[in-house]
Amino acid sequence: MSNVFRALIIGAPGSGKGTISEWIVRDFNLKHLAAGDLLRKNIKDKTPLGREASLYVEKGQLVPDALVTKLILQELSTTFNNQSYLLDGFPRTIPQAEALHKKENLNACINLAVPEKEIMDRIQGRWYHPGSGRTYHMQFQPPKVAGKDDVTGEPLEQRQDDKPETVRARLETYRNQTAPVINFYKGKNLLREFAGTKSKEIYPKVYQFLAAIRKPVNEQ
């Protein structure tokens, strides 16, 4: 087994990608590169690429593909050079996938196939109390009184991102954008799809797959 292991994880918003990524990183001793976090850090630190990206973000525009690609590839060739990692949130488009493929030899692409109805239920169930930031979930952590904060009794609100129409739009964008990327990695024989509705059900299958390629921490 090679010492350097590189994988990427794909999953819709609300698919449990963040949770499963944490478990993979922990169990297989990988560095975690989350594209969104890297972009925000560069903007905050006012790096040359961060300053360029902030011009788009401040106008509410998407950061161009080429700029995100440059940012990720720069990070992979410096901080992550000769490191084993899990890449999350990139690539999102075919040009990004092609650019990554030219520079990096990936061992695996993990696709989390969670039904859209399950994702809708997960995200729509999130409510919060604006005054304190306390969060609730109608299915997993409901308030004592429906629609009311447990402490103050004040009404709960739903974030714009969690409203049904927003969730549907985000899922449609994800589906249209990511389907070609999934097919790209399928064509490279790197894609493995893991279906399920709960992260705790999906992860043992992911673990078993990865353990055949890279020795888990508890076996090292």
Alpha-carbon distances, residue 116 vs 35, 102, 125, 193 (angstroms): 23, 32, 14, 15
Catalytic annotation present for 126: yes
Q: Can you give the pLDDT at residue 195? A: 95
| Block mean pLDDT (10 aa), the chain, length 220 | 85 91 96 93 95 90 91 95 94 94 95 93 92 92 95 94 88 90 96 94 96 86
Q: Can you give the pLDDT at residue 3? A: 83
Alpha-carbon distances, residue 216 vs 39, 68, 116, 187, 212 (angstroms): 30, 31, 31, 27, 9
Angle at 64 between CA 122 and CA 105, to 5 degrees: 80
Out of 70, 170, 186, 205, the active site residue is 170
**Separation of first and last alpha carbons in the chain:** 12
Catalytic annotation present for 159: yes
Out of 6, 122, 126, 214, the active site residue is 126
pTM, rounded to two decimals: 0.85
CB-CB neighbours of 82 under 10 Å: 6
Catalytic annotation present for 170: yes
Q: Can you give the pLDDT at residue 57? A: 87
Tell me the H-state helices in 58-111: 65-77, 94-103
Per residue in 109-136, pLDDT (tens digit) is 999 999 999 999 888 899 999 999 999 9
Catalytic annotation present for 17: yes
Two tokens, residue 146:
């429906």
| Domains annotated on the chain, with CATH | 6-30+84-219 (3.40.50.300)
Q: Can you give the pLDDT at residue 220? A: 65
- For residues 53 and 44, what is the distance between their CA atoms, to the nearest angstrom? 11
With tokens 């999350």, the residue in question is: 88
Q: Are 88 and 35 in contact (CB under 8 A)?
A: yes
Binding residues for AMP: 40, 61-63, 89-92, 96, 159, 170
Two tokens, residue 103:
């520079």
Q: How many residues does the chain have?
A: 220
Out of 159, 175, 188, 200, the active site residue is 159
